[in-house]
């Protein structure tokens, strides 16, 4: 029995296989011919793999900037040393995390089938990381083993049901349809950006309508624009902290100019690959999911990973990343100067790109270019405050994890979960 459960857990944790299985089931329910079933399933899996590899390339290209910003603002490494730590939680409570994940997913399916909340959370790796966070909260509050499973299951179910539903109107405004929504820890930051964007209305031009002189029309190509932008970010940081310090911080083993140029090109290539994977996967998973919607869960839509939204406003993604890096680092500096937190927070480059990049798309949809800028600027500040809110809650378990991947729904819901866990006898 344990082996069977572990097998299903591994399937859900592997996005390509999980979504490929969803496509397979949907196409079979639609009674498609053998060739179409094989083609649709394979293209879905390949599309997700392409998307994932693009994401990995993007992550590797922006990760060195964290240390550069640390030096720029004299920010020390995060002084967080939990008694257990994320590795210990994963090794000692892996079974509880897996059980909670499966129970929460089943609850999501039942709610989608029998209520008006019609979405199915299909971002497999997030289906794992949220029970990971909630199990840690349960451990922090000294819940029993049974209580931890019950608590993590219910909190994960609440999250995957509530969060995508809150974002649904904003996603509809971006895409103009209800083909899919977003199931990703960007929710709170995207809501903040969307609300801030509303202050500007939608009369201003979109971030995607930025006009370039004829001689620079090549900048309309997002792979070129993103490469140049990231190259300039690396060079600006290098100029501020000094070339020698930058080489050390970035771990550059070649001329800093060449290194920065290649990081920019790597970023552009990663974004291009990611967008290709998104288009390929969406072309297959959306039609296939209609089979599940028609047969099992009427009118349901899939809640998918945030990068699925990037093709709708790629300029906004870059704007969100750059603006939020500026405001979040400034917030780190201010909170550190005021002594608001008893621990050090480091720049969260990954959250700035993926979560706030998505938030900027939402801000652009509600308030145009001004909404994207103001929304992502505000989200950058909120992100740091959320980290400050969540680290004390997870101080004995996974605070080492949250200071790197938090500042988003993980942080917010760990705080909410802590309040709920205290109600257990």
Q: Are 359 and 320 in contact (CB under 8 A)?
A: yes
CA-nearest of 354, 329, 355, 358 to 344 is: 329
Tokens of 104: 């929460």
* Contacts of 40 by beta carbon, 8 Å cutoff, 6+ apart: 23, 24, 27, 32, 284, 287, 288
Q: Kindly report the average pLDDT of the chain as a whole number.
A: 90
pLDDT for res 1? 63
Tokens of 86: 């994320």
Confidence band, pLDDT 50/70/90 cuts, at residue 272: very high
In this predicted model, what pLDDT tens digit does every residue of 107-134 receive, in sequence order?
999 999 999 999 999 998 899 999 999 9
At residue 77, does pLDDT exceed 60?
no
Tokens of 123: 């971002």
pLDDT for res 343? 76
Mean pLDDT of 195-207: 84
In this predicted model, what pLDDT tens digit does every residue of 351-366 receive, in sequence order?
999 999 999 999 999 9
Q: What are phi and psi of 305, to 5 degrees?
A: -65, 150
Q: What are phi and psi of 88, to 5 degrees?
A: -70, -45
In this predicted model, what pLDDT tens digit does every residue of 368-386 receive, in sequence order?
999 999 999 999 999 999 9
Q: Are 393 and 415 in contact (CB under 8 A)?
A: yes
Q: Among the listed ranges 25-34, 184-193, 330-339, which one has the minimum average pLDDT value?
A: 330-339
* Percentage of the chain exceeding pLDDT 90: 68
Mean pLDDT of 172-178: 94
CA angle, 173 then 174 then 177, to 5° = 70
Distance CA 46, CA 17 (A): 10
Confidence band, pLDDT 50/70/90 cuts, at residue 82: confident
pLDDT for res 344? 73
pLDDT for res 190? 98
* Percentage of the chain exceeding pLDDT 70: 95
Mean pLDDT of 182-188: 97
Mean pLDDT of 41-60: 93
Mean pLDDT of 331-338: 86
pLDDT for res 21? 93
At residue 210, does pLDDT exceed 90?
no
């Amino acid at each position: 029995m344990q082996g069977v459960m572990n097998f299903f857990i591994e399937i859900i944790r592997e996005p390509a296989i999980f979504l490929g299985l969803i496509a397979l089931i949907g196409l079979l329910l639609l009674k498609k011919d053998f060739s179409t079933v094989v083609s649709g399933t394979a293209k879905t899996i390949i599309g997700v793999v392409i998307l994932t590899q693009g994401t990995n390339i993007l992550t590797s290209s922006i990760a060195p900037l964290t240390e550069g910003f640390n030096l720029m603002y004299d920010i020390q490494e995060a002084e967080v040393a939990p008694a257990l730590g994320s590795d210990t939680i994963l090794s000692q409570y892996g079974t509880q995390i897996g059980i909670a994940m499966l129970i929460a997913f089943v609850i999501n399916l039942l709610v989608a089938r029998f209520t008006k909340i019609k979405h199915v959370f299909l971002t497999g790796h997030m289906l794992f990381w949220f029970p990971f966070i909630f199990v840690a909260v349960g451990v922090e509050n000294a819940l029993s083993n049974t209580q931890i499973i019950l608590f993590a299951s219910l909190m994960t179910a609440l999250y995957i049901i509530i969060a995508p539903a809150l974002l649904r109107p904003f996603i509809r405004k971006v895409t103009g349809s209800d083909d899919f929504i977003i199931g990703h820890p960007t929710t709170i930051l995207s809501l903040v950006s969307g609300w801030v964007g509303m202050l500007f209305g939608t009369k201003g031009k979109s971030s995607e309508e930025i006009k370039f002189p004829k001689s620079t029309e090549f900048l309309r190509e997002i792979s070129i624009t993103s490469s140049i932008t990231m190259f300039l970010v690396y060079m600006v940081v290098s100029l501020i902290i000094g070339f020698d310090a930058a080489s050390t911080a970035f771990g550059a083993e070649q001329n800093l100019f060449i290194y920065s140029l290649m990081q920019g090109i790597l970023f552009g290539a990663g974004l291009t690959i990611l967008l290709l994977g998104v288009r390929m996967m969406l072309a297959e998973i959306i039609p296939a999911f209609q089979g599940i919607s028609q047969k099992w869960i009427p009118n349901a839509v899939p809640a998918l990973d945030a990068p699925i939204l990037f093709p709708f406003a790629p300029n906004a993604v870059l704007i969100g990343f750059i603006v939020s890096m500026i405001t979040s680092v400034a917030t780190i500096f201010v909170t550190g100067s005021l002594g608001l937190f008893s621990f050090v927070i480091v720049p969260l480059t990954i959250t700035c790109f993926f979560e706030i990049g998505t938030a900027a798309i939402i801000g652009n949809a509600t308030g145009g270019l001004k909404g994207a800028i103001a929304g992502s600027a505000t989200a950058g500040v909120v992100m740091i405050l959320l980290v400050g809110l969540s680290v004390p809650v997870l101080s004995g378990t996974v605070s080492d994890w949250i200071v790197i991947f938090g500042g988003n729904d993980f942080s917010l819901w760990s705080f909410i979960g802590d309040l709920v866990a205290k109600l257990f006898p």
